[in-house]
Amino acid sequence: MYQNDTQRPSDLVKDELPDVDVARAVPSEEEIEEAMKDVVDPELFVNIVDLGLLYGVTVDDEGNVTLDMTLTSPTCPLTDKIEYDTRYVLEGLAKSVTVNWVWLPPWSLEKITDDGREQLRAIGYNL
């Protein structure tokens, strides 16, 4: 088959990867907030940004992201799911992600954006 049974076509390619770290672009707070719109509250089916659950975004000079987030209720059983989804959507964008769960100020319906209200109305909520 091949000249040598131990040689494969992939062995003929000798691309070497550089030994240097590829510089990662540091994301802006706006880019992080936009990416967070892909995290959907599993009970309300609206993204957490438009629900008003994202209280703050901090990005340091190395691309480490710290998020201040809350939930609609401190007893929400889906905290782990939301945190997992957060880390998933920021993978590759942020060097690391830290979620600070905060309870003050408490979340209220007034924190929902106009887009969030439209999304909730579309699925039957009367706001």
How does pLDDT run across 34-70, given as a tens digit for each residue?
A: 999 999 999 999 999 999 999 999 999 999 999 999 9
Report all structural domains of the chain as residue ranges with CATH numbers, in order of start: 29-107 (3.30.300.130)
Residue 20's pLDDT is 46
Structure confidence by residue, pLDDT tens digits, 58-68:
999 999 999 99
User: pTM, whole model, 2 decimals?
Assistant: 0.78
Locate the DSSP E strands across 1-127.
Answer: 54-59, 64-69, 96-101
- Could you give the CA distance from residue 114 to residue 72 in angstroms, rounded to a whole number? 17
Q: Which amino acid does the sequence have at 2?
A: Y
